[in-house]
Structure 1
Amino acid sequence: MAKSIKLFSAAGYKNSSLQQFFKMVVLNNRLQNGDAHLKNFGLIYEDVEHIRLAPASDVVSTTAYIADDVSALTLLGSKKWRTRKYLIRLGVNSCELTNKTANQLYDECESSLSQVLEMVIKRLKNETNGQKRKLLEHLAVLMA
């Protein structure tokens, strides 16, 4: 997908689209979204000078439903859920990011996950439905 972004994005959107793609990959990996396949990524074409990556969509933690699920995307030759170090390498090698930028973008994702985790923990305190509790607990573990 990074190759397609580089090839088809308008020059003025290439870097921001690659950064956005990297963050989408980080979040899909951290949330263990095994359904993040190529059809979940697309480009928005306003005109030839305004071609950019479309916003994220269809993000779900599939491991909440399929315990042994793996990534639908092959990242640097693997479908395993990856560590920060591995994803930073992906950002540098595939998304043309500097190590510093890749780490900053990863930290932005972590910050967002921490904010959502606070909401999940609040919700867990009052949730009495067993299935909902199980899903929320699963998300809390992934976001911690």
Structure 2
Amino acid sequence: MLKLVMMNDALRNGDAHLKNFGLVYDDVMRPRLSPVYDVLTTQVWFPQEVPALAMQKTDPRGTEKWLDQLELERLASLSHCHNVDIVQMQAQCREIALQSMATTLDECPKCPPRKALEHALKIIEGALPVPSSSAKT
């Protein structure tokens, strides 16, 4: 669930609300996260979009904004996801999003929504900082 929240943050999916998160009960005692659906970069159409899912913010004013590093770490702690490398998880989400979008653009050179896809790629590129640890030495 934490990774899904982070991916929606990386994609700037402002439409990620509670109805987009579901559980599947194969066994009453062991629910699992349902397959992910309705995920897109809403800032393509709504540039000032902020997350629809209200999260407890570290900012006492409670302004709606995308999650920062401290808030993600706090969310991981509240989720009992201990020993999670938030920076690494953010980097993975960023890379997966960028690679997926680039692949889609490469495989569909004449897609009607190409301009929207290109714009989404730029938004995703700017959504998260490039981790300094990813530099090759």
Scaled by the length of structure 2, the TM-score of the pair is 0.71
Q: Which has the higher helix share?
A: 1
Maintained 8 Å contact 1:121/1:140: no
1:39 corresponding residue in structure 2: 19
Following superposition of structure 1 onto structure 2, how do residues 51-62 of structure 1 map, counting pairs within 5 Å? 51-62=31-42
| CA deviations over 1:75-119 (Å, ceiling 9, x no partner) | 223521233x14532443322223544333323212312321432
Q: How many residues align?
A: 120
- How many Å separate the matches in 1 of 2:111 and 2:85? 42
- How many Å separate the matches in 1 of 2:103 and 2:13? 20
Following superposition of structure 1 onto structure 2, how do residues 1-144 of structure 1 map, counting pairs within 5 Å? 21-77=1-57, 78-83=63-68, 85-98=69-82, 100-120=84-104, 122=106, 126-127=109-110, 132-144=113-125
Percentage of pairs with the same residue:
32
Scaled by the length of structure 1, the TM-score of the pair is 0.68
Maintained 8 Å contact 1:117/1:143: no
More contact order relative to length (CA 8 Å, sep ≥ 6)? 2
RMSD: 2.5
Which ranges in structure 1 are unaligned for 5 or more consecutive residues? 1-20
- What SS is found at the alignment partner of 2:47? coil
Maintained 8 Å contact 1:44/1:51: yes
Shift of 1:71: 0.6
